[in-house]
Amino acid sequence: MEQHVIDTLKEHKLRTTSCRENTLGIFLSRDMALSHGDLEATLGDRFDRVTIYRTLRTFLDKGIIHKVLDDEGVRYALCRDSCSEHNHHHDHVHFKCNECGQTNCLENLHVPAVQLPKGYQAREVNLLIQGLCASCSDN
């Protein structure tokens, strides 16, 4: 996985730093959206909160991650495809489990088109569904 992290940073023309490597490694090892607090807890005292925030901002700007809004605030998830610098295409649904609290991208479910009134322009569309994830509903 370490080589994948380095290759991803190079592909997005980013200098390799320990915070970027560690943060991207966490995203690659988890299949869910993460908050700034989740990253802080996982990274411990290795990096201060501002460094983590700047890393997230850089990853957002470069199209490595995208924002996911849920009932607790902003989380971040890896961009799977079709993203480039300053040009995110995320028309998929996000799902938050009421039991385990994980928020996941449902890549194969697309947000339905919404016809806005004249004069309105959408910049970002988010659709969050809450319920029980597959793991929790089996219990």
Q: Which one, of 63, 93, 92, 96, lies nearest residue 78 by Cα?
A: 63
Structural domain boundaries in the chain: 2-137
The model carries a pTM of: 0.82
Q: How do the pLDDT tens digits run along the chain, 139 residues long?
A: 789 999 999 999 999 999 999 999 999 999 899 999 999 999 999 999 999 999 999 999 999 999 998 888 999 999 876 555 555 556 788 999 999 999 998 988 888 888 999 999 988 888 899 999 999 988 6
> Token digits for 113?
């088109």
Question: Do 52 and 23 form a contact (C-beta atoms < 8 A)?
Answer: yes
Structure tokens at 37: 């607090």
Q: Chain centroid to CA 61: how far? A: 12
- For the chain, the residue count is 139
**In the CATH scheme, what is the code of domain 2-137?**
1.10.10.10
